[in-house]
Amino acid sequence: MRRSVTFTSLLATLLLLLACEQRPADKPLQYSSAPAASQLPVYRLVPHPLYTPQKLSETFQPLVDHLNRQLSGARIELEASRDYQAYEQKFRAREAEFLMPNPWQTIEAMKVGYHVIAMWGDAEDFKGIFIVRKDSGIEKPTDLKGKVVSYPSPTALAAAIMPQYFLHTSGIDVNKDIENIYVGSQESSIMNAYLGQSAAGATWPPPWRMFQKQHPTEAAQLKMIWETPTLINNSVMARDDVPEAVRQTVRQTLLDLPKTPEGQKILAGMETARFHPSDDASYDIVRKYVARFENEVRPVERK
């Protein structure tokens, strides 16, 4: 009996020793001067939906990656919106820390505590344009009477408000002479013209340039027929509770993009020449323009 107990104890000890020998070696401790990414404060950057969510993500993610390489102690995440209305709900609820809105959205976002830190693109590039099929027979604005015109959204400044004011000053009663349809995105507005669902599609230069690159077959059957006068371009805004150091790093990184090959590549992918210094006061011209439009044409937002 005693021999059986001794053998059992010996066997248990041997198995324990073997188990200890097979235990994986402890991993060495890792030290870092910065907290893990999951511990960093996250700031959302939300461009207005000038493209579909997927295309917008593809276009702006390189910019976000570049911003994150310049930031220390914080991280930026890109967020897309399904349409203009969803985007406008987000900033009115102060859901995002950084915005890239159109000029009308810029003056609206100021009302809830956002402030301009840069202008996104050259002012000369901010204008409405009309796209028609080459075989449409449309030659002058009054040829649109009785026809359909497509736009991304009623609040799209360059791609709806400015084109409608252009038509207004060209002798068209926008509310009676034509049928206005709002189709959700810049590309959809162009595609409506291509498919013949609208006689003309309103948009603005960057989406039209991108459409020509990505859909050359369809673009070959289209042409830009008119353009509006220019206005100040889209903005970049920071919410009023973003730390000053983060705000300034983002601003300076945007302004410095043209100085490096990497930055130039990012700008080219966005169809943007550069970012410019700007502030809230720069957008006073938009308030005056919108007031004139609402007085003469229609309310910007449909109630």
Tell me the domain boundaries of the chain.
Answer: 39-123+232-296, 127-227
- Answer with the residue of higher pLDDT: 84 or 144: 144
* CATH topology agreement for domains 39-123+232-296 and 127-227: yes
Cα 76–Cα 271–Cα 274 angle in degrees, nearest 5: 70
Instruction: Compute the average pLDDT of residues 46-74.
Output: 93
* CA 234/CA 251 separation, integer angstroms: 14
Q: Which residues pair with 223 in a beta bridge?
A: 132
Q: Which residues pair with 100 in a beta bridge?
A: 47
pLDDT digits (tens, 9 = 90+) for 169-187: 999 999 999 999 999 889 9
- 284 band by pLDDT with thresholds 50, 70 and 90: very high
pLDDT of res. 53: 87
Tokens of 168: 């207004």
- 303 band by pLDDT with thresholds 50, 70 and 90: low
Beta pairing, strands 114-120 & 148-151: unpaired
pTM, entire model? 0.82
* Residue 20 predicted with pLDDT over 90: no
- CB 245 within 8 Å of CB 71: no
Q: What are the backbone dihedrals phi and psi of residue 42, each rounded to the nearest 5 degrees, phi first?
A: -110, 130
The domain over range 127-227 is classified in CATH as 3.40.190.10: yes
* Residue 194 predicted with pLDDT over 70: yes
* CA 26/CA 264 separation, integer angstroms: 46
* CA 181/CA 178 separation, integer angstroms: 10
Q: What are the backbone dihedrals phi and psi of residue 204, each rounded to the nearest 5 degrees, phi first?
A: -140, 170
* Residue 151 predicted with pLDDT over 90: yes
* Residue 7 predicted with pLDDT over 60: no
CATH annotation of 39-123+232-296: 3.40.190.10
Q: What are the backbone dihedrals phi and psi of residue 47, each rounded to the nearest 5 degrees, phi first?
A: -75, 150
